[in-house]
Copies of this chain bind each other. A is one copy, B any other.
Amino acid sequence: MSSPEPIRVLIWGENRHEQIEEHVAAIYPDGMHTTIQQGIEENLGSTVTTETVTLDDPEHGLTEERLARTDVLVWWGHAAHGEVSDEVVERVHQHVLSGMGLVVLHSGHWSKIFTRLMGTTCTLRWRSEQDRELVWTVNPTHPIAQGVPNPIIIAQQEMYGETFDIPAPDELIFISSFTGGEVFRSGCTFRRGHGKIFYFSPGDQDFPVYHHRDVRRVIANGVAWVRSDLPERAIPTLLRYETEDFYHGHGYGGPIKDAE
């Protein structure tokens, strides 16, 4: 049932904290995107091919041509959400709705692409004071929950807490708690158009979360899960169908003349 073709994964990194803040560079000397990439390769081996691009690349590295040959896009951004061009966001949005898988990590909850896909503010409560995060599985049969302990223990983490303003996820897989007592729906799936999306909140620039074995496994599981099973990339389209012809739709000719 599974395709023998490797999953073509593109990791998008904002790559700003690493340049500006010494303590982040110390944790992620090659950039967070590279550490995330290594975690995916570590778990998925030859079933993936991976590349990284960053905000400062031309068109943020997200040209039409590149997206067209990407099966799964992994997104980490934080300090510079506002610098991502609307045109590129629109392009990524179209690709997700057409079948490109998307894994959104941590502070990517407030990225333009995630809020556009969700339709909500995607806000939350937060605090960065080295809380311990416990990631609990509430959907034990889901492929994304396989191969990790229950709970995953992350020694130091930023706190993300409810109420997280997202649509009720299609599947809720993980719920996290923090030392301070807050909780968070930390692993959620969403189907949008022909695309599948996995949001996973662990991971921060200030802590070595993307070096954590279990976090890496979950991200890899997410990459495998969001990969499309559809034979080709195509955006859902409004079409007119004659009675008894179920398979040949006609393009839209406007509301008045064609009387939709």
What chain B residues lie within 8 Å of A175 (beta carbons)? 162, 175, 183, 185
Interface string of A115-151 (1 = CB under 8 A from B): 0111111011111110110101111111100100111
Whether A26 sits at the interface, judged by CB under 8 Å, is no
How many A residues have CB within 8 A of the partner chain? 95
A228 contacts B141, C-beta separation under 8 Å? yes
Q: Using CB atoms and an 8 Å cutoff, list the residues of chain A in contact with chain B.
A: 1-2, 17, 20-21, 44, 47, 78-80, 97, 99, 107, 110, 116-121, 123-129, 131-132, 134, 136-143, 146, 149-151, 153, 158-159, 161-165, 167-168, 170-172, 175-183, 185, 190-196, 206, 221, 224, 228-230, 235-244, 246-247, 249, 255-256, 259-260
Cα separation A178 to B243 with both chains bound (whole Å) = 10
Q: Determine the residue in chain B with the shortest Cβ distance to A110.
A: B238
B151 contacts A246, C-beta separation under 8 Å? yes
Leading 4 A-B pairs by shortest Cβ distance: A79-B255, A165-B236, A123-B238, A117-B119
